[in-house]
Amino acid sequence: MLTERLRHLERDGLVSRTYFAEVPPRVVYEITALGTSLAPLFAALADWSPNLAEVERARAAYDSARRERGAGRRRAPG
């Protein structure tokens, strides 16, 4: 799975791959200039990450409300 993800990143130009025909074979991955240009976006995500707890609370409230509405529909009238 990791190799597949790295190949996708290589295809996108975000990492470069260098293969060394040694025994045992060796592969080195390095971030490219394009990949490095994403650093400010990752920093912004890291700064925003404390909000994930609020997202989880919102999801729980939403799921709870849906369950309650669903349970109300299944009940037969009086």
1 and 31 assigned to the same domain = yes
CA pair distance 51, 56, nearest whole angstrom: 9
2 and 31 assigned to the same domain = yes
The pTM of the whole model exceeds 0.75 = no
23 and 9 assigned to the same domain = yes
29 and 11 assigned to the same domain = yes
31 and 43 assigned to the same domain = no
Residue 77 lies in a domain: no
What residue numbers bound the domain in which 22 lies?
A: 1-35
44 and 30 assigned to the same domain = no
pLDDT at 61: 96
Q: Which residues have C-beta within 8 Å of that of residue 17, sequence separation ≥ 6?
A: 6, 7, 10, 27, 28, 29
Retrieve residue 53's tokens.
């707890």
Query: In this prediction, what percent of the chain has a pLDDT beyond 90?
Result: 86
Residue 26 lies in a domain: yes
pLDDT band at 77 (very low <50, low <70, confident <90, very high): low
